[in-house]
Amino acid sequence: MTEFFVSTEWLAKHLDDPGLSVVDGSWYLPAQGRDAKAEYEAGHIPRAVFFDQDVVVEPGSKLPHTLPSPETFATFAGSMGIGRDDTIIVYDGPGLFSAPRVWWMFRLMGARDVRILEGGIDGWKREGRFVTGKPTKVAPCLFETEFHAARVASLDEMRAVVETGSAQVADARPAGRFEGIDPEPRQGVRGGHMPGAKNVPALSLGRDGALLPPDELRAAFEGAGIDLTKPVVTSCGSGVTAAVLTLALETLGHADTKLYDGSWTEWGGRTDTPVVTGKA
């Protein structure tokens, strides 16, 4: 057990602990060919509840995965039986794709002890550990939020960042999308990246469902041109894998970090925002 992670062995030993909440935060891109909800229903870790990242959003938003208000989030979390003081263990399929977004959201809303399962449920299953298709019994509770708004960047803030260079932008999308070579998965969204942004693909920061060691993480950011002594805003396609970068930065002790919730779907989907193509 580390500051932000637990092993499959640890979770297996502590599944019956009081005050433990297990959360399946799986979400996939269409190209991955996986159905998160169907996989959960077919077999999940005992005690796990399903956190649907397409549903736990701000109602009425035209953007995908828009961070819900604290009140809306509290309603969802409470309905899942999750309290702010619980030890919250989040997992996804491969281990380090969508779980960090749920980890970030719970911490953003005031949860104090949130960790990610290394290796995800794919690793759990490979080890032959027990899964169940039975619905998890939930006792609804009150989730009292303590919202850390300063950790979220808005569109207006991003305009200022791009214009003034007041913070660095670390973009978690694959290189082909960042450079504008590969098409965006969402219709009407331009290819390319924000002027001045640096490309740190989320998938480059993990190995076997866990984060790279700190020295390799540091090298990945610095190799992309990120100065770890200065502020960083993380971004991606729709705010999900940007949280992988946020997690990695916090693991390195980088505290001056925000996540751009609208991410590229918002920025690239507009006509009044500057976009450049090619390498950073």
Active-site positions? Answer: 236
CA separation, residue 172 to residues 103, 155, 190, 243 (Å): 17, 17, 16, 9
**What is the separation of C-alpha 257 from the centre of its chain, rounded to a whole number of angstroms?**
14
Listed residue (106, 172, 170, 151) closest to 258, CA to CA = 151
The backbone region for 83, taken as left when phi is positive above 0, alpha when psi lies in -120 to 50, beta otherwise, is beta
Contact residues for 84 (Cβ-Cβ < 8 A; gap 6+): 109, 110, 111, 112, 143, 144, 145, 146
Contact residues for 42 (Cβ-Cβ < 8 A; gap 6+): 133
The angle formed by the CA atoms of residues 115, 118 and 122, to the nearest 5 degrees, is 125
